[in-house]
Structure 1
Amino acid sequence: MPVKKKRKFPDADDNEPKCKITSFTRPQIRGARPIADKLFSGKKCLTWFHKYAGADKEVGPEAMEKFCEDIGVEPENIIMLVLAWHLEAASMGFFTKDEWLRGMTILQCDCTERLQSKLDYLRNELNDSVSFKNIYRYAFDFARDKDQRSLDMDTAKAMLALLLGRTWPLFPVFHQFLEQSKYKGMNKDQWYNVLEFSRTINTDLSNYDEDGAWPVLLDEFVEWQKAWPTS
């Protein structure tokens, strides 16, 4: 999960106002059995949080790196985005105490070992089309600067690479298009439609309807791609 420096007031697996994400349905947690069948402890979970946050009310970028090291996951790994989704984290690179306690309680994780036992579960959620769509949509608000309505293009390209880089055959070409385009950012409608485009449009673009309700950005991508020499 890419880390952003805090403002006042995220390669694939190996590749408005402050928004509380509450509209995305999270499935009931299934996974490894609790360590030694012990019950989840809220007190232990809070102590675990303060191991990284110290006296602060949140785990920040430096502490996040230590947290990732302890659970054995690179900060840029997509599994950190899935975890942030479960915690309903509002800002990239930060977990607040409320987010930590709420999310880890749902996951029934009160220590490093328990979270490690759930990593395969978190990774497998990416294979569920509904969960993936929710994670993808969540990523927009999670990654954007909270004083902006759109994702800046560098962040959008990085998040698209994380989410679609290994599964969408046209992603390398789409990335090239974004590199040379006039667009400096991506709004929510464009972001949502890129996923729909990647799921429904053939690699050769043969079923793309120019009169469909696609954003202009995708119309321009199709026009740009079709203008490429075929040999």
Structure 2
Amino acid sequence: MPVKKKRKSSGSDDPGLRKCKITWCDCIERLQGKLDYLRNQLNDMIIFKNIYRYAFDFARDKDQRSLDMDTAKSMLALLLGRTWPLFPVFNQFLEQSKYKVMNKDQWYNVLEFSRTVSTDLSNYDEDGAWPVLLDEFVEWQKARLAAL
């Protein structure tokens, strides 16, 4: 008998999202009127960090502690794809890596990495407390750049 995969959280059980639906976006016109406001909210680093952290739990299967890598890559593309210059390279690394899942610590640290490490990786601290995933990404990217 095949095992059915549990559905991801729809978020509808979150009181904050229900309130948002009721007060902000109960029709297309209101949503259109709020788009500039919402874009500005995403530019606030604290608000974005909260959304980014929430996205991990929203996207993972309820019975799992980690995100499967395809979901993680899709969510990272949505959240960081336009703003992190290294995202295309990081995504390429994830495509060819051995990793099948991304845990919460890795997820949180990808955001911190994207905000603090320069695109040339010159300020990356190899002795820092980064997850091995990010250490391997830096090593992989430096090897790629050296080969050019």
- TM-score between both structures, scaled by the size of structure 1: 0.56
The residue aligned with 2:9 is: 91
2:144 is paired with a residue whose SS is coil
Q: Match for residue 48 of structure 1?
A: none
1:198 aligns with 2:114: yes
| Structure-2 change in CA distance of 1:202 and 1:184 (3 Å) | same
Alignment partner of 1:160 is 2:69: no
Q: In proportion to residue count, which structure has more helix?
A: 2
Alignment RMSD: 2.3
How far is 1:98 from its partner? 5.5
Higher Cα Rg, which structure: 1
For 2:57 and 2:70, the matched residues in 1 are separated by: 15
**For the residues of structure 1 that align with 2:128 and 2:15, how far apart are their CA atoms?**
43
Deviation, 1:229, is: 4.1
- Between the aligned partners of 1:97 and 1:202, the Cα distance in structure 2 is 36
Q: Distance in 2 between matches of 1:168 and 1:97?
A: 29
Whether contact under 8 Å (2:12, 2:18) holds in the other structure is no
Q: Distance in 2 between matches of 1:130 and 1:190?
A: 19
How far off is 1:146 after superposition? 0.5
2:20 counterpart of 1:103: yes
Deviation, 1:101, is 4.2
**Corresponding letter in the other structure for 1:186:** M
Q: Following the alignment from structure 2 to structure 1, what is the Cα–Cα distance between the partners of residues 15 and 126?
A: 46
Task: From the superposition, tell whether residues 145 and 201 of structure 1 become closer, same or farther in structure 2 (CA, over 3 Å).
Answer: same
> Which residue of 217, 221, 225 corresponds with 2:133?
217
C-alpha deviations, 1:86-126, integer Å up to 9, x for none? xxxx824x635966643335x45544433332222112211
Q: Quick check: 2:6–2:63 contact (8 Å CA) kept in 1?
A: no
Return the letter of the residue paired with 2:12: F
- CA distance 1:103–1:221, change in 2 (3 Å): same
Q: Which residue of 2 aligns with 1:7?
A: 6
Q: Does 1:149 align with 2:148?
A: no
Task: Provide the TM-score with structure 2 as the length reference.
Answer: 0.85
Counterpart of 1:20 in structure 2 is: none
Gaps of 5+ in 2: none
Counterpart position of 1:28: none
Asked if 1:120 corresponds to 2:36, the answer is yes
Q: CA deviation at 1:190?
A: 0.2
Q: SS of the residue aligned with 1:95?
A: coil
Farther-moved stretch of structure 1 (133-142 vs 94-103): 94-103
How many residues matched? 143
